[in-house]
Structure 1
Amino acid sequence: MDKNYQTYFRYILTFGMASVALSCSNTRFLKEGQMLYTGAEVKIENDTLPKKEKKELQSALEANLTPKPNSSFLGLRPKLYFYNIAKEPKKEKGFNYWLKYKIGEKPVLLGDVDREFNKDIIVNYSENKGYFNAQATYDTISKNKKAKVIYTVKPGARYLISEVKFQKDSSLVNQEMRNTSDRTLLKKGNPFDLDVIKSERERIDNRLKERGFYYFHPDNIIVQADSTVSKNHKVELSVKLKDNTPEVSTEQFSIDKVIVFPNYNLQDVKKGKYNVPMDADSLEKYKHNDIYVIDPEHKFKPKIFDRALYFKTGDLYNRTNHNLTLNRLISLGVFKFVKNEFIVSDSLQHRFDAYYLLTPRQLQSLRLETLGRTNSANYAGSEVNLNWTHRNFFRGAEQFKASVYGAFDFQIGGPENAKNIFRTGANAQLSIPRIVAPFRFNSSSAFVPRTNISLGYEFQNRTEYYSLNTFTGSFGYVWKENARKEHDLKILDITYVSPANVTPLYEEKAAKSDAIKRVVERQLIFGPIYSYTYTNTMLPKANTFYYKGTLDLAGNLTGLLTGANVKKDKEKSIFGVPFSQFAKIENDFRFYHKFNEKTSLATRAIAGIAYPYGNSEHIPFSRQFFSGGSNSVRAFRARTLGPGSFDPRTIQEGYYFDQSGDIKLELNAEYRANLYKFLNVAVFADAGNVWLVNEDTDRPGAKFSKDFLSEIAVGAGVGLRLDFSILILRLDLAMPLRVPYYEKGDRWAFDRINFGDSSWRKDNLILNIAIGYPF
């Protein structure tokens, strides 16, 4: 037998023996007469049910049975084993308590199972699904101190809906109920299902809420089932209003007055500052259009409520406008609490006043932030940020943010002639809660659209090499269709980079590399950027996903007007600065699968390309793709991977240069599990790289080619996540499994793994420390 096969056989045999031993060892902790409950099985006895329907009923019944047996993995029950071997702790803390009650799991015994109760659950559930003649029995099978329960169900034939009737009379509420019947969930020929009936009551309630019936409730509806009027297992349903329905639930309400308190404070209410409801005479001086804004200090411009409030005097109440108004008030970002009350003002005319009680957030804040960091170029540093925020800058809920910062990075090892880096800068952003444009933009979304304007400046000094002045500015819009879809359009995004104090030492290095030379070239990048985001990760579903697509177009119209698209003999300039011209697209897709409350699988795929043309032969460094680091392929240090099969170890000594590319492909997968409260673990694998569109003689192997699959880097590792609610501290330890700059055919690194070698560990075990999840 081959040596490798012998090794695998021993592993399998050892695992098998350990499984048997661990499985048997749990029963030895049982007391005399106790039986370990291993679960239940439901058998359906009905030859007329379709196979699919029978399987669905079986799965649903088994899911409703209690209790659940101890959790198992590959037939083993490790949590139960930890509970059994741990000593009973004297206090509710310490290692024994943690092992027994947090990691371990108390045994589920046959004595814990109420078989009669489960039988009743089976019968009741079956009847609720239309099996009106269901019968059930049970039997217990035991062996070697283990027991399981077999439930046998005879459901009989399933009853189908023969007819659905809505109550007919002259009352307004019944007329509105009948008007909803064309969208009823109760369909002729469908099986009787109590869950569908409940959903139908909620559907009718939602529809009536849209028609002014503010006080209506699903419990006001009764759906009567009559199986005697038809034969052949048919049932007739009658949708009716209950006889004891309160009169107010049957009345249709409209809006009288809309009153806003934008400075509402509970403490002021207790002092008698506010009088709710207010009399009409005291309201008149606060009237703005159809809205009364009680703001004696004039902190807010009344027109912001014109755009946020959907109710006007005389409008029929509807739930959609109710929710839209509350959501838009919240999304303004200036109110901490939003409370809504409807108070009847005219019971005969069925009218009520709508009160909006808004508690503002702190309008101004000043925050000082400091942080420390290290990077893979043997640098350590610190950064200080001073941020000022005003949430009502022009009294129209405009958010203004300004910050100044300073940072430095200095050498802590590595090449002796590496140089320190200093950065300082400032930026400002104004976010206006509406679309500022020469056209009209109407949005029925619950989210307020915004116009964003930003300006920034940064001075970077790399000692003994060069200095860079970077100016940035943008103007654009952000709006949401709904909670899942968001659009971000920057009409104009400008970046201007101007070098200064380029030293002869750096010029000497740049003469040997075009890539290094481009770092200190003057750059002018401008054009629109559009991104679209779709996500349903906020929903309580087992499978959710996230997608973000970004399109970056630079210098396209200008290139057309200046002739840069066709005349390539000379770069075109604006004010003496050549402008960049390229198209860039990036796609980020993430899929999340939730196994249970404590375990999940997260995956991500990134694909992007940036193509220079017209006035540019290369993509500006700041717009290129990078790979490696704590949020990318974690087995490689930040920005050191690629491009292609280029070997970064060949870079001239003493100069650290981020490796960038025009094309990016990346795949990530991460299995996540919760161990204890804030402590989470992960096992992950990453694969990816970046490439150039064009050849680069200074970086052989960097161009994208048909052999790109052989240049994909692969890494894997384990991680800890410390979830402290306000932040998640992440520690990932990764190692490379496939290195693209090794010789072709010898890039897999399994045979090089040597945990006992300190030099191997130093070069191959990469620790990433970060805040938040990588994706």
Structure 2
Amino acid sequence: MKYGLIIRRPTTISTSRTSRWSLCLLVLVGGLSSAVASAQSDSDTPHIAEVFFVGDTDFSDEVLQSRIRTAVNREFLGLRGAHWWLWLYRIGETGRLGSRLDRALMNLGEPPAIIDEAVLATDLEQLRVFFEREGYPQTDISYQIEIDGNHAYITFNIVQGPATLISRVSYTGLDSLDLPQRQQLAQTSLFPPLPNQPLLDYKPVPQRFRESQLLEERSRLLTLLRNMGFAAVTRDSIRAIVTPVTMDSFNVELRIHTGRRFRYGTIQFEVEGPEPDVPVRMDTLSANRDTSRFVISKIQGDRRIKSALLLKALDIRPDAWYNQSEILTTKRHLEATGVFTFTDIVSQAPIDQVLPHQITVRTRPRHEFLFSTFIRQSNDALGGVENELGGGLGLTYKNANMFGGGEVLSLSTTGSVAADIDTTFLSSTLAEFSATVSLPYLIAPFHHLDLDLFQTRTRFTFSYLTARREDLSLIIRGRVATRIRFELRHSPNITSFVDLMDLSLSQPDTLRGFESRFLNQVLGTEGRTQIIDPVQRAQILEDYTQPQINNAIRYTFRSEQVNLLRRDEGYSYEASAELGGMLPYFLDRYVFTPGTLEQSLRLFSFAGSNSEAYYRQYVRFTSSFRRYYRLSSRTVLATKFFGGWVHPIGKATVVPFTHRFYSGGASSVRGWGLRQLGPGAASFSQLSNNERETNLLGGDIKLEASLELRQTVVQDRLGADWILATFTDAGNVWFGPRNPGFSETAPGQPTGRLVFQNLLQETGMGWGVGVRVSWAYLVARLDMAVQVHDPKRPDAGLFPSGLNDWVGYFRLGHAF
């Protein structure tokens, strides 16, 4: 055993950059550590205080730590020496708080990490094996222990040896492959050759030998050979022979036994349904007359399913060469129909070089009812109610395989009520009905695209909504929407959405008391005018009280590789382009008032009503970039950028209310409430800028960016991971060049339009902290945010409201 002096670098904390909350936390942790010092166990066994890795290696301390079992007790927030759970254990270990409380503290805490020489010896061996597999077989590793009171400091001294290089690579046993197949195998090798080398026996581009890379190459060869028809090849069919050439170089020979090459034989579907009294149906779906090989279906227990659905999902054909990727594609197509609860594809006993297959599927019950309850929390956009909390009930009916071709019908109805959190008065009610028909293919004339895509789907959606705002005397008598959407999945990570038609019609109305509850509160009264500009006053009345009609054609491109619940690693990119208002424009120009554009349609004239439904033509573009970096096993850095631009076209000067941009809220700039930021540095009212006001009209341009650092501090407590987060959000919305904006703006006052030299000054910035509780199926978060820079108060400096004006949010799911 070696003992030596270990030099430890202290952790420094810059108090000039630490908020008062962080200082309070440090004081709390420090005070607790002092209190626990007097309550520690009388045991003289030292516990592990630090583990160090000394030496110049190609691997981080975190990677090396993950290879060994010797570790310190967990540290709170990653603060060195803040062994919160160890302290809890030792308080319970004293036995001074009663047996029940002592046991509870010990169960919640963590026993001290003590030195175990057997574990240390195993750790040395694990590290040696790790370096050898990574191409450093001559690495020398030892450890030292320093005892300081009841603390032990363990140092692993690592002298990394020279890297072992691959001198030559050869592939043997590939006589069954023709020249194009050998070229394909060589072109995708993980050991690329130098220029002008023989095809399968060459000097590779210099690289370090790694066992993990050999395993990856074996997996690549398995997949490639199985896709070429060699169905019998297994992992044992590929052996890597590594021969030392010098002290720091190896030759690698990959010996491959391909076995025979197979073709598909007869393919038989076995369909099992939930209806036992339905007679068995047999059908021959297709046949190869030259070889007498068939696609056969046997359907029992299901009277609705059609054989054509099975044949459409089939990506393999009798007498073609076996291809494992086609097997997986067939399975994916069957599962994507939504009709089957179970799918299995099994190769049968080969006949010569022919491989029959049996595909077994189990259909789900056709009729399904789902009853649900939910909680609804929101902030009102009209300024009357700042916080709402409510709940609702929902009933959904699903009909799987409605017409026998994989069509799924879904009918749902929901109803909810909400109350003002502050007054507990009922503030709003809402009822909605929706119907969706989902098809696992594209409809004509686009159905030919199915052959070139990873997966396709067509959705027809119809919805009807009615809502009532008691607090503002507003009512939506009806909002009807219908959509036809094509979903085109190009690969597992890339999807396109084409909304061929997105049509909506909304008919708002007013109730008794509208003037006192809405006009007087939002627009102001005589002597107390809140909304100054007459153009904006007229626009607000149109947005909230006049019928609106809109349609859009939209294309959305999405590329994502991320766990949508945890969002702890990966990316999500999305961009969309939209053209709106064209259908009402053609109806206006050629049907209702030929030759005249009124920018409104008299849709209810047949009922004797003179009310008009307004429409606006526009183009809209958005882009969203989200990236998640795993800095360590417990630390994630999440980043977000959003940009949007919408512009009216034709005679319109503004875009529809529902297609403008807004800033502020739980998933936006969190220092502001919902829609309370913007436009620019302008204000709607004559009130003091210290008062929060809602941006009723939104904006035509939006820029937002966010950074969020998430640190897991407790794992698997109450079945969840507990995560602390700190975040910074920045952004705003602005009027576009065609928006009338404020017609009565004093000289030198902000206009709400985007001026690039004022971009930074007019960007709102917020900062905050939060807690996330992450279960396997749900993430709940609580955020507290404060304004760092307010565009409407540029002279107030940083933190214009101090640290006393926090905005709180409780939501489900991460902010982004």
Please report the TM-score for the alignment, with normalisation by the length of structure 2: 0.76
Specify which of 47, 51, 58 is matched with residue 39 of structure 1. 51
Q: Is 1:641 matched up with 2:677?
A: yes
In structure 2, the CA distance between the partners of 1:320 and 1:469, relative to structure 1 (3 Å rule), is: same
Could you tell me whether the CA contact under 8 Å between 2:40 and 2:90 is conserved in 1? no
Could you tell me whether the CA contact under 8 Å between 2:549 and 2:584 is conserved in 1? no
- Residue 342 of structure 1 is matched in structure 2 by 347
Paired residue secondary structure (2:213): helix
CA distance in 1: counterparts of 2:123 and 2:802, whole angstroms? 57
Specify which of 754, 758, 761 is matched with residue 705 of structure 1. 754
Paired residue secondary structure (2:329): helix
CA distance in 1: counterparts of 2:336 and 2:459, whole angstroms? 15
CA distance in 2: counterparts of 1:586 and 1:203, whole angstroms? 39
- Residue 387 of structure 1 is matched in structure 2 by 396
Q: Report the alpha carbon displacement of residue 488 of structure 1 after superposing the two structures with TM.
A: 0.8
Specify which of 302, 319, 332 is matched with residue 314 of structure 1. 319
In structure 2, the CA distance between the partners of 1:234 and 1:616, relative to structure 1 (3 Å rule), is: same
Specify which of 758, 768, 771 is matched with residue 812 of structure 2. 771
Q: Is 1:553 matched up with 2:556?
A: no
CA distance in 2: counterparts of 1:541 and 1:497, whole angstroms? 36
In structure 2, the CA distance between the partners of 1:554 and 1:98, relative to structure 1 (3 Å rule), is: farther
Q: Report the alpha carbon displacement of residue 341 of structure 1 after superposing the two structures with TM.
A: 1.9
In structure 2, the CA distance between the partners of 1:35 and 1:563, relative to structure 1 (3 Å rule), is: same
The letter of the residue matching 2:761 is: S
Q: Is 1:612 matched up with 2:624?
A: no
- Residue 537 of structure 1 is matched in structure 2 by 562
Q: Is 1:513 matched up with 2:564?
A: no
Q: Is 1:404 matched up with 2:413?
A: yes
Q: Is 1:432 matched up with 2:405?
A: no
Pairs within 5 Å for 1:86-101:
86-88=91-93, 96=102, 99-101=105-107
In structure 2, the CA distance between the partners of 1:612 and 1:648, relative to structure 1 (3 Å rule), is: same
Paired residue secondary structure (2:646): strand
Paired residue secondary structure (1:536): strand
Identity across the alignment (%) = 19
Could you tell me whether the CA contact under 8 Å between 1:209 and 1:318 is conserved in 2? yes
Paired residue secondary structure (1:323): helix
In structure 2, the CA distance between the partners of 1:473 and 1:28, relative to structure 1 (3 Å rule), is: closer
In structure 2, the CA distance between the partners of 1:726 and 1:149, relative to structure 1 (3 Å rule), is: closer
The letter of the residue matching 2:733 is: V
Q: Report the alpha carbon displacement of residue 495 of structure 1 after superposing the two structures with TM.
A: 1.9
- Structure 1, unmatched stretches of 5+, are 45-53, 243-248, 275-281, 755-763
- Residue 167 of structure 1 is matched in structure 2 by 172
The letter of the residue matching 1:454 is: T
Q: Report the alpha carbon displacement of residue 528 of structure 1 after superposing the two structures with TM.
A: 0.5
Specify which of 331, 344, 348 is matched with residue 326 of structure 1. 331
Specify which of 619, 639, 664 is matched with residue 603 of structure 1. 639
The one-character-per-residue Cα deviations of 1:311-357 (angstroms, maximum 9, x if unpaired) are 2212222221121111222222222222222221x443342323233
Specify which of 497, 505, 526 is matched with residue 551 of structure 2. 526
Q: Is 1:581 matched up with 2:630?
A: no
Paired residue secondary structure (1:627): coil
CA distance in 2: counterparts of 1:598 and 1:491, whole angstroms? 44
- Residue 698 of structure 2 is matched in structure 1 by 660
The letter of the residue matching 1:513 is: R
Could you tell me whether the CA contact under 8 Å between 2:418 and 2:429 is conserved in 1? yes
Number of positions where the alignment pairs a residue of Structure 1 with one of Structure 2: 725
Could you tell me whether the CA contact under 8 Å between 1:334 and 1:363 is conserved in 2? no
Could you tell me whether the CA contact under 8 Å between 2:629 and 2:636 is conserved in 1? yes
The one-character-per-residue Cα deviations of 1:135-160 (angstroms, maximum 9, x if unpaired) are 54444444455444455556654443
CA distance in 2: counterparts of 1:384 and 1:541, whole angstroms? 29
Specify which of 444, 450, 471 is matched with residue 457 of structure 2. 450
Q: Which deviates further from its counterpart, 712-721 or 617-626? A: 712-721
CA distance in 1: counterparts of 2:635 and 2:538, whole angstroms? 49
- Residue 238 of structure 1 is matched in structure 2 by 253
Paired residue secondary structure (1:306): helix
CA distance in 1: counterparts of 2:423 and 2:735, whole angstroms? 28
- Residue 667 of structure 2 is matched in structure 1 by 631
Q: Report the alpha carbon displacement of residue 616 of structure 1 after superposing the two structures with TM.
A: 1.0
CA distance in 1: counterparts of 2:454 and 2:686, whole angstroms? 52
Could you tell me whether the CA contact under 8 Å between 2:378 and 2:389 is conserved in 1? yes
Please report the TM-score for the alignment, with normalisation by the length of structure 1: 0.79
CA distance in 2: counterparts of 1:580 and 1:14, whole angstroms? 54
- Structure 2, unmatched stretches of 5+, are 1-14, 193-202, 288-293, 524-533, 604-612
Q: Which deviates further from its counterpart, 168-177 or 386-395? A: 168-177
Pairs within 5 Å for 1:290-309:
290-296=294-300, 297-309=302-314
In structure 2, the CA distance between the partners of 1:286 and 1:712, relative to structure 1 (3 Å rule), is: same
CA distance in 2: counterparts of 1:232 and 1:596, whole angstroms? 35
Q: Report the alpha carbon displacement of residue 69 of structure 1 after superposing the two structures with TM.
A: 3.1
The letter of the residue matching 1:584 is: R
- Residue 362 of structure 2 is matched in structure 1 by 358
Q: Report the alpha carbon displacement of residue 257 of structure 1 after superposing the two structures with TM.
A: 2.0
- Residue 70 of structure 2 is matched in structure 1 by 67
CA distance in 2: counterparts of 1:371 and 1:404, whole angstroms? 15
In structure 2, the CA distance between the partners of 1:32 and 1:318, relative to structure 1 (3 Å rule), is: same
The one-character-per-residue Cα deviations of 1:66-120 (angstroms, maximum 9, x if unpaired) are 4233345343242364245321399999765565444x44333333564443443
Q: Which deviates further from its counterpart, 497-506 or 382-391? A: 497-506
Paired residue secondary structure (1:625): coil
- Residue 480 of structure 1 is matched in structure 2 by 489
Paired residue secondary structure (2:272): coil
- Residue 278 of structure 1 is matched in structure 2 by none
The one-character-per-residue Cα deviations of 1:529-575 (angstroms, maximum 9, x if unpaired) are 121111111399974221222222113598699999xxx99645566
In structure 2, the CA distance between the partners of 1:261 and 1:648, relative to structure 1 (3 Å rule), is: farther
- Residue 759 of structure 1 is matched in structure 2 by none
In structure 2, the CA distance between the partners of 1:448 and 1:15, relative to structure 1 (3 Å rule), is: closer
CA distance in 2: counterparts of 1:121 and 1:300, whole angstroms? 56
- Residue 527 of structure 2 is matched in structure 1 by none
Could you tell me whether the CA contact under 8 Å between 1:734 and 1:767 is conserved in 2? yes
CA distance in 2: counterparts of 1:173 and 1:120, whole angstroms? 45
The letter of the residue matching 2:620 is: K
Q: Is 1:79 matched up with 2:91?
A: no
- Residue 48 of structure 1 is matched in structure 2 by none
Q: Report the alpha carbon displacement of residue 485 of structure 1 after superposing the two structures with TM.
A: 1.1
CA distance in 1: counterparts of 2:812 and 2:702, whole angstroms? 24
Q: Which deviates further from its counterpart, 185-194 or 618-627? A: 185-194
Q: Superposition RMSD on alpha carbons, in Å?
A: 4.7
The letter of the residue matching 2:540 is: I
Could you tell me whether the CA contact under 8 Å between 1:736 and 1:749 is conserved in 2? yes
CA distance in 1: counterparts of 2:708 and 2:25, whole angstroms? 28
Could you tell me whether the CA contact under 8 Å between 1:29 and 1:84 is conserved in 2? no
CA distance in 2: counterparts of 1:97 and 1:686, whole angstroms? 43
Q: Report the alpha carbon displacement of residue 43 of structure 1 after superposing the two structures with TM.
A: 3.3
Q: Report the alpha carbon displacement of residue 584 of structure 1 after superposing the two structures with TM.
A: 1.3
In structure 2, the CA distance between the partners of 1:163 and 1:727, relative to structure 1 (3 Å rule), is: closer
Q: Report the alpha carbon displacement of residue 605 of structure 1 after superposing the two structures with TM.
A: 2.2
Could you tell me whether the CA contact under 8 Å between 2:474 and 2:508 is conserved in 1? no
CA distance in 2: counterparts of 1:370 and 1:595, whole angstroms? 36
Could you tell me whether the CA contact under 8 Å between 2:226 and 2:324 is conserved in 1? yes
In structure 2, the CA distance between the partners of 1:155 and 1:219, relative to structure 1 (3 Å rule), is: farther
The letter of the residue matching 2:359 is: Y
In structure 2, the CA distance between the partners of 1:235 and 1:283, relative to structure 1 (3 Å rule), is: farther
Paired residue secondary structure (1:661): coil
In structure 2, the CA distance between the partners of 1:749 and 1:203, relative to structure 1 (3 Å rule), is: closer
